[in-house]
Amino acid sequence: MFVRQELWRHMKRCQSKPAMSDESAGGRQRVLTIAAVAKSAFSGQVDDGLMKVLSQMNDDEIARVVRNDFGLLQFAQSLYNRHGFNKTKHEYICQKVRELARFILALRKKCPSFTLEDAMKPANFMNVIDAVKDAAGFNQDTHSYQTPSLALKIGHSLLKVSEILHCRALITEDAELTNSAKAFQKLYKTKWSEYISHKALCTISDLKYNKPTKLPLTQDIDKLNDYLQRSAESAFQELSQNTTEHNYACLARLTLTRIILFNRRRVGEVSKMPLKNFLQRDDSYAFEELGLSAYEKRLCKYFTRVELKGKRGRKVAVLLSPDITKALELLVEKRKQCGVLQDNEYLFAAPKGNSFYRGHDCLKKFAAECGASHPEYLRSTQLRKHVATTSQILNLKHNELDQLADFLGHDISVHREYYRLPDATVQVAKISKLLLALEKGMLPELRGKTLDEIKDFTDEDDDQDDSDEDTSETRPQHITSGNYG
């Protein structure tokens, strides 16, 4: 047996220790966290895989709450049963568990011995309300939250906990726990919106008013694209001539960023692209019988399409140009020589571990290096909103808009509500034409015309009446109307 504080020294030299990559080996704090998890009173009642996931958390007060609350561990076990097979979801599991642990810490300020199961009792419902407000930073004077999303997330998690406890009570035939869980669900359904979610949603809505639209500039996108192409060509030559881990990493990061930028994909979707999806790509397209133009047929022969799993399991695709395909093939060829583990399933695998290169970090790095005037706007979400917003000027048909939304991985309603931003320039330039026409009583003459068909005309009344000189400084001399014939 070893003293807990000395265990980390033994693990460094123990001949029976399991083989670990440099990434997962960790240090003193990592070993002490594993020891703390193993010491937990409930460690034998949950899966070893879950305890391994929880051992990745920082050994702080929140982690100690997680390890010693049985209801919280049951919630974590439910998440692990659903998402544990996916290693990329392990961080999400820890995040959801820590949110509830922060709630429990806030609850224990009033009731030091409370557990998550105690929070499900109807008599403690108002204490639960106060704890959620405390954890989310509710301001009684302004009736707003510092972190409104946290209040909503804690509410969803508490409802899930009540369902878990209800199922456990039914299995164990615990009538008292069954009644408590059902009562909490009833209270949540009728009172949660009144006390928590309504104010949280209002806070989120208020924060969106007059918020500047941070869309990337076209010249910044051009600078980033040119920089990536030049750097990728150099990195390709370097890796071809000198196979090193550094050259592999450079080409992988550049290629990953180029795919994200061109396809306007979510960074997580491309970063976690499985190697098998690229190797099993289908280059044959039945486009001869679709009535495509000659230019569209050439594009079908030029690009390679790879399908991957998007948000909520939606099937999405990325288009790869020939130079990007060649770069990916070189990366696959050099994987073993550059230290990528054989069981690493990701296309953009990082050497000496089972992880992958993060697209957000790569995009942020190259945006800062390319000389853009606003590199902070060159992010995945802003790029996706940029293409959705600028597509408004194309006057796309309904089926074409559906195709764009499907490629971006959106439901069409989500695309219209969240991604087609109400661009200020579009509103001022186009809607103002209609408003000015209404002001002048010209609407009957605009019948059957679109906003783009309304053209400039000179307001003759303003030109002929010198008495309107003062008002002409406050509104345009030229308003728009149709062709009067």
How large is the greatest C-alpha to C-alpha distance in the chain, in angstroms? 100
Q: What is the pLDDT of residue 33?
A: 54
Compute the distance between CA of residue 71 and CA of residue 184 in angstroms, rounded to an integer. Answer: 15
* Paired residues of 389 in beta bridges: none
CB 481 within 8 A of CB 439: no
pTM assigned to the model? 0.71
By CB atoms closer than 10 A (0-12, 13-18, 19+), residue 382 is middle
Per-residue pLDDT at 111: 85
DSSP-based three-state secondary structure for 243: coil
Strands 304-309 and 315-320, by their bridges, are: antiparallel
Question: How far, in Å, CA of 97 to CA of 79, rounded?
Answer: 9
Sign (positive or negative) of CA dihedral 428, 431, 434, 438: negative
DSSP assignment string, 141-171 = TTTEESSHHHHHHHHHHHHHHHHHHHHHHHH
pLDDT tens for the chain, residues 1 to 485 = 444 455 545 555 565 554 444 444 445 555 545 555 555 545 556 788 888 888 888 888 999 999 889 999 999 999 999 988 888 889 899 999 999 999 999 999 988 889 999 999 999 999 999 999 999 999 999 999 999 999 999 999 999 999 999 999 999 999 999 999 999 999 999 999 999 999 999 999 888 877 776 788 889 999 999 999 999 999 999 999 999 999 999 999 999 999 999 888 889 889 999 999 999 887 766 555 566 778 777 777 888 888 888 877 778 888 888 999 999 999 999 999 999 998 899 999 999 888 899 999 999 999 999 999 999 999 988 888 877 776 665 656 666 666 766 666 656 565 555 445 445 555 566 666 667 776 666 767 777 677 667 666 444 444 444 444 444 444 444 434 444 33
45 Cβ neighbours under 8 A, 6+ residues apart: 70, 73
Question: CB of 300 within 8 A of CB of 292?
Answer: yes
The CA-atom distances, in angstroms, between 425 and each of 212, 324, 416, 431 are: 12, 35, 18, 10
* CB-count burial class (<10 Å; 0-12, 13-18, 19+) for 50: buried
Q: Are 346 and 275 in contact (CB under 8 A)?
A: yes
Return the structure tokens found at 356.
């992958």
Neighbours of 122 (CB within 10 A): 13
CA atoms of 396 and 413, how far apart (whole Å): 16
**pLDDT value at position 330?**
96
Burial degree of 13 (CB within 10 A; 0-12, 13-18, 19+)? exposed
pLDDT on residue 424: 52
Domains of the chain, by residue range, sit at: 40-207, 218-419, 429-481
DSSP track, 177-242 = HHHHHHHHHHHHHHHHIIIIIHHHHHHHHHHTTT----PPPHHHHHHHHHHHHHHHHHHHHHHHHS
CA 249 to chain centre: 24
Can you tell me the distance from the alpha carbon of 440 to that of 484, in angstroms, rounded to the nearest whole number?
Answer: 15
- Decide yes or no: CATH 1.20.1630 for domain 218-419: no
CA 453 to chain centre: 39
Distance CA(275)–CA(101), nearest Å, equals: 37
Nearest to 353 by CA among 338, 369, 364: 338
* Best CA proximity match to 417, nearest among 385, 381, 442, 464: 385
- Write the DSSP symbol of residue 420: S
Whether the CB-CB separation of 305 and 281 falls below 8 Å is answered with: yes
| Contact present, 440 and 429 (Cβ < 8 Å) | no
